[in-house]
Structure 1
Amino acid sequence: MEAILYISVAVVAVAFVVLVIYIIQTLKSLTQTLNHISHTVESLEGQLQGVTKETENLLKKTNDLAADIQQKSKKLDSVVIAVEEVGHTLQAFNRSVNSISNTVIQKVADNQDKISQIISWGKLAGELKDKWSEIKERRKHNKEANIVIDNRTE
């Protein structure tokens, strides 16, 4: 029975050695994996710091841009108000012109007979002026003809 006991102890010892060898191999593999993960995490930390800096810069630029847009929007508000006031002024001007036009049209309609008379008198005055110009021309022509005749008789 002692031999079985020695064989059993030897088998247990061999099994224990095999188990320890497998555990050592597993631990070495696990160590390599953990080292690789550690390097990856360090690399990610560096990249994350770069991304964080870029994000901070982008956020700062976005805030600056938002402030600039807000400032320009305020300036644009005054332009919009000015254009609106110009529009109101033009509307008031148009109403005034329409009122004056309506008044003139009404006065012309009311005084159409007088206007017709004035136009007739204007035409008559133009005709008299034309006749007067013709008479002046004839007199001038007659004087020149008389001077020529007088010069021949001498």
Structure 2
Amino acid sequence: MNIIIPVSVAVVALAFAVLVYFLSRTLKSLQLTLDNVAKTLDGLETQMTGITKETAELLHKTNRLADDVQSKADSLNTVFTAVQEVGTSIRTVNQSVRKVTDKISAGADHQSENITQAVQWGNAAMQLWEKWKMRKATHELEKERHYE
């Protein structure tokens, strides 16, 4: 029985040595993995810093562009207002021309009636004049016959 204790201690020592060996390999592998993670995080941090700077620049450019677009849109508002005023002026002129045209048409219709009446009176007067001239000529012929 004397031999069992030293063999047991030797087996335990050997098992402990194997455990320590595999544990050290696992820890070594874990350290390499953590070193890679740390390097990756450092690279990511550097990239994030660059992305943050680029994003800030892009945001500033976007704000300047938005301000520029807004100022140009404001400038266009005055153009649209001017065009609207021109349209209103043209509409007013058209209405005025339409009123004048209507008055001229109404006056022309009235004048047309007056001219028609004047022509009719003129024709009637000419017919009376012709009849009067014919009667006078007839009357003079009768006088001459009467004297002969």
Bin of the TM-score, shorter chain as denominator length: 0.7 to 0.9
- The answer to which structure, 1 or 2, has the higher relative contact order (CA under 8 A, 6+ apart) is 1
Q: Which residue of 2 aligns with 1:79?
A: 79
- Post-superposition CA distance 1:105-135 (Å, at most 9, x none): 11111111455699xxxxxxxxxxxxxxxxx
How many residues end up aligned between the 2 structures?
A: 119
- 1:54 aligns to what? 54
- Matching residue of 2:16: 16
Indicate the SS of the match to 2:5: helix
**Following superposition of structure 1 onto structure 2, how do residues 3-152 of structure 1 map, counting pairs within 5 Å?**
3-115=3-115
Q: Which runs of 5+ in 1 are unaligned?
A: 119-154
Render the CA deviation track for 1:13-38: whole Å, top value 9, x for unaligned: 00000000001100111111111111
Alignment TM-score, normalising by the size of structure 2: 0.75
Taking structure 1 as the reference length, the TM-score comes to 0.72
- Structure 1 runs of 4+ off > 2 angstroms? 113-118
Task: State the identity %.
Answer: 43
